[in-house]
Amino acid sequence: MGKLNLKKKDGVVRSISDSPPTHYSLEIQLFSLLSAKYSENGYESKVFKAGGYKWKLVFHPNGNKKRNVKDHISLYLVTVGVADDSLDSNWEVYVDFRLFLLDQNKLNYLVFDDASTKKTCIHGAMRSVGFDKLIPLKEFTDVSNGFLVDDTCVFGAEVFVCKERRKGKGECLERMKKPSVCKHVCKVENLSKLGAGGYRSEPFTAGGYNWKVVLYPDGNGDGTGSHLSLFLECAGHPLPTGCELLVDFKLGVLDQIHHQHHHTYSAQHWFSGDSKDWGWTQFITQYFFRQNGNGFLKNDACFVEAEVTVHGLSKSL
């Protein structure tokens, strides 16, 4: 009969236990078939619960090839979320875990512990723990050791949650070092032919971000049919999740006849991926806009001016 090595090896501490694993057992009665079918990606057990979390065992009968493991059994404990929700990326869970292999000759278990004395931390970026080199295949398949008998083997797991915590969330409101007013004027032609799709200007830059003026001559939303609607849109790449821009802006339609005044509105708004445009559905009545003496509409064209100042950036920590 082969003699088991109970010394620390490959970061694994071995011991013997007469007690079965507390939380889960995985009995495999067709190891040779599993060895052929799951040689690349490994076999995943059904989900079990322990310590308020859901887990599964992932078993590589020929070693985890993604980690260049050969001639060994690889076995991992993987979290698949808490019992009532998916595991949030801000959670950290510290666990004590042990993996088991049944000796079918002696009816006791070879127990595998992490050689590190530190509690194992599982979090959003590292959802698995275990051993690349749990046991050499030569030792595992040696009939005298009792681990593989009649093509059958039994693995198990215990996992105890010692501590859990949620990383603190926060945000940073970053002020622009030199906020400056950016003025942009665009000519909107052939208004009568634009239709419901409206007009979007070429992008212009303010505060390091791209912007567009959006105009609906026939109105938009509750201004449809009665008003000209005018908006400022944060264009280009969408802002990252949790990122917002604090912006002061002014939109106006220029008087092309008197060149002395124009119709304007001002606003302050937090632009984000969920709120990329802001403005007025009832910017100016179509009747007032189209009156010849006001000078807003001339030769089926108008001029729109935008003044944009980006003051700050709010982002999640």
pLDDT tens sequence for the chain (317 residues): 445 656 666 678 899 999 999 999 999 988 988 888 777 788 999 999 988 889 999 999 999 999 999 999 999 999 886 544 444 556 678 888 999 999 999 999 999 998 775 667 776 667 888 999 999 999 999 999 999 999 999 999 999 888 655 544 556 777 777 888 999 999 999 999 998 899 999 999 998 899 999 999 999 999 999 999 999 999 977 787 778 899 999 999 999 988 777 899 999 999 998 889 999 999 999 999 999 889 999 999 999 999 999 998 887 65
Strands 209-216 and 24-28: unpaired
Euclidean distance between CA atoms 305 and 263, whole angstroms: 10
Token pair belonging to 218: 């026939």
Cβ atoms of 253 and 263 within 8 Å: the answer is yes
pLDDT of residue 125: 62
pLDDT of residue 160: 87
Q: What are 48's strand-pairing partners?
A: 55
Euclidean distance between CA atoms 158 and 212, whole angstroms: 58
Q: What are 135's strand-pairing partners?
A: 73
Token pair belonging to 206: 């303010």
- Every domain of the chain with CATH number 2.60.210.10 lies at 12-166, 172-316
Among residues 99, 17, 30, the alpha carbon closest in space to that of 58 is found at 99
Among residues 223, 59, 56, the alpha carbon closest in space to that of 131 is found at 59
Euclidean distance between CA atoms 247 and 276, whole angstroms: 11
Q: How far is CA 253 from CA 48, 144, 173, 188, 291, in A?
A: 65, 90, 33, 10, 13
Cβ atoms of 246 and 227 within 8 Å: the answer is no
pLDDT of residue 173: 73
Q: What are 310's strand-pairing partners?
A: 247
- How crowded is the C-beta side of 126, counted as CA atoms within 13 Å? 9
Cβ atoms of 78 and 58 within 8 Å: the answer is yes
What is the architecture, at CATH level 2, of domain 172-316? Sandwich (2.60)
Predicted TM-score (pTM) of the model is 0.50
Place of tokens 């007469």: 18
Backbone φ, ψ for residue 294 (5° rounding): -80, -20
Size (the chain), residues: 317
pLDDT of residue 237: 77
- How crowded is the C-beta side of 267, counted as CA atoms within 13 Å? 15
Place of tokens 């000078």: 295
Q: Regarding the domain delimited by 12-166, which CATH topology (the fold level of the hierarchy) does it fall under?
A: 2.60.210
pLDDT of residue 96: 84
